[in-house]
Structure 1
Amino acid sequence: DTVTSGISWFLSYMALNPHQHHCREEVCEILGDRDSFQWDDLGKMTYLTTCTKENLHFYLPVPQVYCQLNKPVSFVDGRSLPAGVM
């Protein structure tokens, strides 16, 4: 569900913004006359990667869950966390 949700939000984000055109140009430039991607192509997609990260910033597909310590915790290496820390 999280992958499907993430892809859906990304496609919606791209459809509503002018970034879609720039991403398409970048992909077409990288692919050239090929019809499929190669592993090395992924590192060249800097604009698409930026748009993807921006989308995840606005539409996080996995909710964040926080826990708050109700008492201090001490670890075997001597470090500790005080009560109230999230």
Structure 2
Amino acid sequence: MAATQRIVFQPYARRKQARGAPKLEACTPILCRDVEEGMHRAEKVAAGGTLFVGAHLVRSMVDEDAGDYGEPEILAAVGDVPDVED
């Protein structure tokens, strides 16, 4: 099977802690049908239309049969997101 494109919307929220400031946490990632769907979700977060404080939109090429997973490409980062190392 050939490699297929995966578009993942990774939202983030602030979770209260027993002590200290709320912590930024990754929520459940959402697999999108295409880049447009992911960008729509990211735009909603940027506009403040959700409970999320930020999000990454990531594309990668995946060949599950061969066990090959390409390097992720960040297509968008909106709001409050963690730093991503190169």
More helix by percentage: 1
* TM-score using structure 1 length: 0.22
> Which of the pair has the greater relative contact order for Cα pairs under 8 Å at 6+ separation?
2
* TM-score using structure 2 length: 0.22
Look at both structures and tell me which one has the larger radius of gyration over its CA atoms.
1
